[in-house]
């Protein structure tokens, strides 16, 4: 049986449309920030490249990031990881993320994506807290976790409450009750815990705040939550405010805002070509040629710029 | 109509309440702090150099100043030749509670409470005499009598007589003799453990000063400085981190301890050692005070008994340091300490990773890592502190070496192991080590190469 952490065996990372939309939206936002003066090319990207390195390829090609570090805790696939490394300049560390974060240089700005594929664990919160304390001003932290209810299909909110209480330790909000742990509220609880871990890490750095940028919710199978933002002071806040990022539908600059849900309508190649010809469409537009709900039109209008095209390639 | 409520202090508060939150041992340390502060002031000792300097040669060591604590059923005394207190301080500063903003603080004397609190806590009468090369003063106070009059600020004055200086630096110093000891103090000193404890605490608190700048004696017995058991080897490099914030310079060191002569790590020596301006404030701490149990550090567990960390805070302004008024605890609210504690955890983490790997399931150690740990030897802290910042590193053993070993497991009775321990005279030897020892014995005797 494969563990959650071995999801790379079950899912081809290159074929997860919602995840890919998320990556493209993040790149779009970082690009927008770089137009405002953010030197994203000089950042170090640290992520979990696994054996696919999709994010590494995109960040290098589209953002020009040169300094890259991929972290992999599963030492049994070390050769595979190294074999699949797409560029020479990517460093590989075969250790848990928590061992790498303290070693990230304080002299560099970092783009750190803790892209976990399992449900929230105490070690995740510890990593996030440590990153918030350790990373230099201007660094960007992204955290992704699975927000499906923990336990088997028979488990209930009582068990989920106990699970999150155990993982959160002192970060748990004692004001929470069972109602807060209904299945539909788990993304909210997870987001709150990640935010509390960041606040805890920043408690000793009063000059630094966490400026939220992203809060994505999506599912290519399991429902996942990504929280992201920048560590900084007033200067970084001005940069974000001046960038017009707030106009983008996927941005979440307000920490209390609900997540942006990435919805990827299922369309055929022919439908897609048709829809693209009419994008961006006006409110109320719908394709007269085929059935497509108003919701789907709206979802498509939001993601079409970031939507990957898949096709079979005969090599 | 506005009237005014009295907020004047009462002597009773300082004599009875103020003295409750401090132990006899800490009072003696407060008195010794005054001696060490005089030493720093008169010998111009740089606190920042305490880590760097080695011990003086034997000949020179006998000429360095001394501070001596003695006690009898009627008296406790702290006598030093550390330079004395200048006359200009005695009228307005030495006996006032707290310092004026203009007062130039010493390296250790930060709060202006320690001396007074110690004098009042220990007895009902004291004689304080101090001489510098150029002048001196003497104060003899019957505290009981002095406390009776308490109606106006004038009643708080303490008579001081000025005396001649000693002419040269070598004999300049201070003597404090406290008599009419409080019954509870006499009771504490009746227990021989109190003196032993005081002896150990002096060795701890002034570990960085003793032997280099001052010699200390507790009831005529020379005090040896505590050695922080920080180790290294060709495979193990200590982690070093240095930074400055809010006028405080912080140096952090983490590593493994060297094993003792029985090949074990001593649990009571493990943990964090925190110094403020060279004075040890917290020794071998394993609590949340130094970050244990607060992510990313795990709660303390016996498998971490190989861990040793040092945190050294230095500042020209002792009020900026994170110590409490007793100087034996840390002020958790101090912003510099809140920040430093996070960096301590970050520097400690790789050591925990190594120890977690070494003890995947207690009590057995991973053989390859055990060999790394066995080779760790004591090191000069001054050498490590002078190094550039970098994380703790324990070089990973090549996979081939790990595969070449086989784990041997079998049951033995406790009585059998105790017999072996007694035979070897090593009462704390672990079962794992006994197993290894007996195997080595057979290999050596029966299977020579």
User: Does residue B174 sit in the same domain as residue B77?
Assistant: yes
Q: Are strands A67-71 and A90-93 parallel, antiparallel or unpaired?
A: parallel
The whole-number pLDDT of residue B102 equals 73
Q: What is the pLDDT of residues A86-106, one digit of tens each?
A: 999 999 999 999 999 999 999
Q: What is the maximum alpha-carbon separation in chain B?
A: 102
Q: Is B198 exposed, middle or buried (0-12, 13-18, 19+ CB in 10 A)?
A: buried
Q: What are the pLDDT digits (tens) for A29-59?
A: 999 999 999 999 999 999 999 999 999 999 9
* Cα dist from B200 to A155, B25, B280, whole Å: 56, 10, 12
Say if B5 falls within a structural domain.
no
pLDDT for position B60: 62
Locate the chain A residue with the closest alpha carbon to B239: A103
Q: How far apart are the first and last CA of chain B?
A: 102
A274-283, B15-24, B393-402, B414-423: lowest mean pLDDT where?
Answer: B393-402
Q: Which residues pair with B70 in a beta bridge?
A: B77
Query: Within a domain: residue B4?
Result: no
Chain B residue whose CA is closest to A133: B342
Instruction: Indicate whether A121 pLDDT > 90.
Output: yes
Say which of A99, A125, A134 has its CB closest to residue B295. A125
Q: Is B70 exposed, middle or buried (0-12, 13-18, 19+ CB in 10 A)?
A: middle
In a shared domain, residues B214 and B289: no
Interval B290-316 mean pLDDT: 93
pLDDT in tens, A203-238: 989 999 999 999 999 999 899 999 999 999 999 999
Where does a domain end: B195, B222, B249?
B222
Q: In terms of DSSP H, where are the helices of B16-67?
A: 24-42, 58-61
On whether both B357 and B426 belong to a single domain, the answer is no
Is residue B1 a part of any domain in this protein? no
Per-domain residue ranges of chain A:
4-261, 269-306
- Axis crossing angle, helix B367-374 with helix B335-358, rounded to the nearest 10: 120
pLDDT of residue B207: 93
Which of B231, B222, B175 lies closest to B203 in space, CA to CA? B222
Q: Is A134 on the interface with B (CB under 8 A)?
A: yes
CB B161 within 8 A of CB B142: no
Question: Are residues B352 and B429 located together in one domain of the fold?
Answer: no
Q: Cβ contact (<8 Å) for B349 and A170?
A: no
Residue B3 within a domain? no
Closest CA to A287 of A298, A297, A295: A297
Name the residue range of residue B283's domain: 231-403
Q: How far apart are CA B236 and CA B375, in angstroms?
A: 9
Q: Residue B307 sits in a domain of what CATH number?
A: 3.30.230
Beta-carbon separation of B338 and A204 below 8 A = yes
Preferred mutation among B248, B250, B296, B347 to probe A, highest tally of A CBs within 10 A: B296
Could you confirm whether domain A4-261 is CATH 3.40.50.300?
no
CA distance A38 to chain B (A): 27
Element spanning B12, H or E: helix B11-12
Last residue of one domain, picked from the residues B194, B222, B250: B222
Q: What distance in Å separates residue B350's CA from the closest CA in chain A?
A: 7
Check CB contact of B393 with chain A, cutoff 8 Å: no
Asked if residue B152 is part of any domain, the answer here is yes
Count of domains observed in chain B: 3
Q: Do residue B206 and residue B245 come from a single domain?
A: no
Q: Express each pLDDT in B38-69 by its tens digit.
A: 998 888 888 877 776 556 555 566 679 999 99
Same-domain pairing of B441 and B350: no
Following DSSP, what letter does each residue of A145-193 receive, concatenated? EE-SPSS-TT--HHHHHHHHHHHHGGGS-TT--GGGGSGGGHHHHHHHH
Average pLDDT rounded to a whole number, residues B337-342: 95
For residue A122, list chain B residues with Cβ-Cβ distance below 8 A. Answer: 295
Q: Examine residue B253 and state whether it is found in any structural domain, yes or no.
A: yes
Q: Which of B299, B19, B40, B39 lies closest to B170, judged by CA?
A: B39
The reported pLDDT for the residue numbered B372 is 86
CA distance A77 to A83: 10
Whether residues B290 and B173 fall in one domain: no
Give the residue among A24, A86, A100 at the shortest CA–CA distance from A49.
Answer: A86
Q: Which two tokens stand for residue B302?
A: 């016996």
Shared domain check, B418 and B354:
no
Q: Residue A139's pLDDT is what? A: 98
Kindly report, residue by residue over A151-209, the tens digit of the pLDDT: 777 888 999 999 999 999 889 998 999 999 999 999 999 999 999 999 999 998 999 99
Mean pLDDT of A123-146: 96
**Any CB–CB contact under 8 A between B298 and chain A?**
no
Contact A142, A227 (CB under 8 A): yes
Give B16's DSSP letter.
Answer: I
């Amino acid at each position: 049986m494969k563990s959650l952490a071995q999801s790379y065996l079950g899912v081809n990372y290159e074929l997860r449309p919602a995840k890919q939309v998320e990556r493209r939206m993040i790149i779009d936002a970082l690009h927008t920030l770089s137009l405002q003066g953010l030197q994203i090319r000089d950042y170090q990207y640290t992520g979990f490249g696994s054996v696919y390195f999709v994010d590494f390829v995109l960040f290098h090609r589209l953002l020009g990031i040169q300094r890259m570090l991929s972290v992999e805790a599963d030492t049994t696939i070390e050769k595979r990881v190294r074999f699949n490394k797409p560029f020479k300049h990517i460093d590989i560390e075969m250790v848990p993320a928590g061992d790498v974060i303290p070693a990230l240089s304080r002299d560099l700005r970092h783009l750190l994506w803790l892209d976990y594929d399992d449900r929230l664990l105490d070690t995740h919160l510890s990593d996030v807290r440590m990153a918030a304390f350790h990373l230099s001003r201007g660094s960007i932290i992204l955290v992704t976790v699975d927000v499906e209810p923990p336990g088997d299909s028979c488990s209930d909110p009582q068990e989920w409450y106990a699970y999150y209480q155990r993982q959160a330790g002192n970060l748990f909000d004692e004001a929470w009750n069972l109602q807060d742990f209904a299945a539909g509220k788990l993304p909210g609880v997870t987001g709150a815990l990640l935010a509390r871990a960041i606040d805890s890490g920043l408690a000793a750095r009063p000059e630094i705040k966490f400026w939220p940028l992203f809060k994505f919710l999506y599912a290519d199978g399991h429902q996942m939550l990504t929280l992201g933002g920048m560590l900084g002071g007033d200067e970084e806040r001005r940069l974000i405010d001046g960038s017009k990022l707030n106009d983008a539908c996927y941005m979440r600059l307000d920490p209390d805002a609900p997540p942006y849900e990435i919805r990827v309508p299922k369309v055929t190649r022919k439908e897609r070509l048709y829809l693209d010809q009419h994008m961006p469409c006006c409110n109320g537009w719908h394709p007269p040629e085929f059935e497509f709900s108003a919701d789907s039109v709206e979802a498509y209008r939001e993601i079409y710029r970031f939507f990957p095209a898949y096709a079979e390639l005969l090599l | 109509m506005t009237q005014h409520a009295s907020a004047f202090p009462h002597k009773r508060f300082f004599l009875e309440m103020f003295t409750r939150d401090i132990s006899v041992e800490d009072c003696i340390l407060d008195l010794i702090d005054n001696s060490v502060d005089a030493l720093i002031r008169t010998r111009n000792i740089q606190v920042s150099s305490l880590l760097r300097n080695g011990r003086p040669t034997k000949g020179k060591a006998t000429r360095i100043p001394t501070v001596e604590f003695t006690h009898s059923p009627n008296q406790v005394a702290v006598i030093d030749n550390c330079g004395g207190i200048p006359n200009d301080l005695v009228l307005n500063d030495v006996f006032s509670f707290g310092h004026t903003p203009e007062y130039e603080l010493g390296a250790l004397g930060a709060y202006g409470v320690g001396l007074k609190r110690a004098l009042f806590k220990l007895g009902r009468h004291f004689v304080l005499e101090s001489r510098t090369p150029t002048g001196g003063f003497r104060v003899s106070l019957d505290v009981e009598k002095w406390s009776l009059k308490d109606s106006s600020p004038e009643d708080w004055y303490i008579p001081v007589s000025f005396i001649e200086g000693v002419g040269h630096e070598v004999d300049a110093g201070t003597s404090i003799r406290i008599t009419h000891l409080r019954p509870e103090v006499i009771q504490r000193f009746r227990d021989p453990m109190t003196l032993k404890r005081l002896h150990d605490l002096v060795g701890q608190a002034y570990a960085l000063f003793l032997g280099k700048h001052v010699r200390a004696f507790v009831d005529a017995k020379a005090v040896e400085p505590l050695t922080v058991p920080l180790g290294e080897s060709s495979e193990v490099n200590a982690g070093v981190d240095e930074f400055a914030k809010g006028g405080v310079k912080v140096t952090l060191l983490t590593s493994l301890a060297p094993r003792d002569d029985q090949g074990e790590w001593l649990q009571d020596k493990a943990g964090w050692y925190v110094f403020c301006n060279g004075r040890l404030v917290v020794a071998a701490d394993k609590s949340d005070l130094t970050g244990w149990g607060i992510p990313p550090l795990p709660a303390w567990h016996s498998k971490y008994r190989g861990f040793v960390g040092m945190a050294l805070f230095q500042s020209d302004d002792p009020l900026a340091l994170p110590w409490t008024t007793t100087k034996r605890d840390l002020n958790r609210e101090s912003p510099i300490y809140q920040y430093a504690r996070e960096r301590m955890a970050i520097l400690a983490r790789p050591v925990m990773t190594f120890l977690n790997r070494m003890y995947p399931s207690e009590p057995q150690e991973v053989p390859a890592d055990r060999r790394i740990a066995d080779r760790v030897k004591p090191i000069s802290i001054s050498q490590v502190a002078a190094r550039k910042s970098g994380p703790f590193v324990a070089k990973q053993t090549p996979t081939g070496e790990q595969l070449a070993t086989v784990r041997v497991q079998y049951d033995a009775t406790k009585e059998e192991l105790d017999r072996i321990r007694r035979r070897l005279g090593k009462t704390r030897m672990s079962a794992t080590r006994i197993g290894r020892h007996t195997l080595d014995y057979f290999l050596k005797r029966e299977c020579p190469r």
